[in-house]
Structure 1
């Protein structure tokens, strides 16, 4: 797993097209469908805490875990007075809580950053361990279709006054790994721009493999949806949401 470092400075700037409010409404609807309308919820891979804050505003007691110290610094900077969000700097493959939670949510393809099956299995085991009995686990994934047909071998770029980025993608089909080579130009003093480079890796998992690992971890697979709908996963789904339940320790 690669922690966000220099990209953390401009993450929210370049992610301002992400409809976090709509994503939050979708997740809230899933939580409430399973009778989780309040209580303690963990945001696993919380980044700069946008979703974490929205879920707190919706009445949930929030914990946010992320592996990037830089991202969590930004999350804490945006924490409003009176907020009780607990942010923890931890690797999701080894995370520890003080007790159990009613639900765990994880979005923005955080699970795709787990590039080894054994590590993803360990994450699922830890989630199962820290969930209340029959507690809910909701997470999203970029699909094999998205990496293979849409992202792989493409370059995405954006130029703004505050900064620019060039994002080169390379998909290795045999290993199902997508490499992101990210070049950033971030504005500093005197209108000068400093260049930063980062490389990130994500793994594509089939839904069948995710089901297998969830069940191996002791969890109950409940369902999966084409993202932001209640429709079944399709061959050309780009992002899916998976719902699982705690099923005994």
Structure 2
């Protein structure tokens, strides 16, 4: 992939809207401490943007044994994308307001399902200087069709726990969680042995994706539950570096007491 396949600038999106070119905009507000972003969306969102729930539409919580945010099926992604108005031949722009986590997850899931021309708004909501709308957007149903029903074998590479263990592997969590000093969410602190720490926030500069990451691919990426790992994968993809997500991430890894755990730097 190239940068233009992954990211879109606020200026480019604004020009598209001003000239009336078709585009589907998805608002994917999500934070660890505030997973439901609908209230924030209704208080102010990009013109025409439709709200997407990361917890309910980009995750399948009925799946067991695959971490806190298991991937949804392609068919469920197709049904949701049609509700959002995603159409054939029309680009989709995803954005969020917290460290690109929600938009990167949406970019990864939709792309893995085989939906083309999905891009992340670089800089997120804070980089947008145009007008905002309030309330909820109702849109005409889309007609998009997914190519892959099983995202664990979809259009983007993923790793199993066994494959993640063989490395090379990047851990996208905060340094203190990587070192095992704190663990606010999962029952075990630490990291997968052999992994190197590349926090998802470190691939951003003032909310925008950095163009100067020094990472050679292919490489695997994990985090707590597969969400912020997508930020690192998107950043690397924008530089043409191949990276695979370990979807279950630490939440899956540490659920098996037979798997080794490393601590420290």
With normalisation by structure 2, the TM-score equals 0.32
Greater relative contact order: 1 or 2 (C-alpha under 8 angstroms, separation 6 or more)?
Answer: 2
Could you tell me the TM-score, scaled by structure 1's length?
0.34
Tell me which protein shows more strand as a share of its residues.
Answer: 1
